Amino acid sequence: MTTATPESEKDDVKVVNLTLCQKERDYLTLVDVLRTISETIKSPLLSLIKETRILYEYSIEDSGFPAPISPEMQGLIEMVTGCLDDLMSWILHYNRGRLVSLIAASVISMIADSIENKELSLDSVSEINGYILNLTKDIVSSLSTKQIKDMDSANAGEEIMTMIKDLKYQNNKLTIYTENPRKIVFIDDGYNNFVDE
């Protein structure tokens, strides 16, 4: 009688690198730093969630690199970010600050592309153009009709003359008529500045 030894089954062993995220963060190049800053400015909530997941996996679970965020979850996060932006837009100067930061993020991303010798993306340029147009619309729409009328008024010349009526230029001398105390101040050019005599 012969006994056959059963063949050992192959174990599927999966090797997981537990320090991949740490290595990515230890050896950041200038381009990596610029891209991280740009992505964080463009989508702060998504960046916060990604970094929090990494911190949670390392500190609490000790399981290393977390699985990437699913497209459905990323879409949900972007939808929540959009809702928060809409809600925050009720704050007076939020839109302007957000648009300026988005312009800065796009410029930072273009600088990173330039460092890597990538060609200038037309999408980035049109993105910046859109942000600048929206910023301009926001600024113009916030002007009151009185301010617009004042800018366009026919008596703007009179207002300027009222402002400079006490300035006179006579005999190659600039003079200012002051009210309190009432006197005439002669202005001379000295040390590349205007000084009173």
Distance CA 84, CA 34 (A): 25
Single pTM value for the model? 0.59
Bigger pLDDT: 176 vs 116: 116
pLDDT of residue 93: 81
Query: Can you read off the two tokens belonging to residue 158?
Result: 């009179």
Position 37 confidence tier, pLDDT thresholds 50, 70, 90:
very high
Rounded to an integer, what is the distance from CA 94 to the centroid of its chain? 12
Residue appearing with tokens 């730093």? 33
Tell me the pLDDT tens digit for each residue of 83-99: 988 888 788 788 888 88
Looking at the chain, the whole-number percentage of residues with pLDDT higher than 90 is 11
Cα 43 to Cα 7, 32, 54, 128: the distances in Å are 54, 16, 17, 16
SS3 content of the chain, % helix, strand, coil (to 5): 60, 10, 30
The b/e string for 134-172 (b: 16+ C-beta within 10 A; e otherwise) is: bbeeeeeeeeeeeeeeeeeeeeeeeeeeeeeeeeeeeee
Confidence of residue 2 (pLDDT cuts 50, 70, 90): low
State the average pLDDT over residues 165-174.
75
Q: What is the mean pLDDT of residues 170-192?
A: 72
- pLDDT per residue as tens digits for the range 128-151: 998 998 888 888 777 776 666 666
**157 pLDDT above the threshold of 60:** yes
pLDDT at residue 49, rounded to an integer = 87
- Read off the tokens for 141: 């729409």
Q: Where are the domains of the chain?
A: 20-143, 158-196
pLDDT at 107: 93
Strand partners, 83: none
Least confident of 60-74, 120-134, 143-157: 143-157
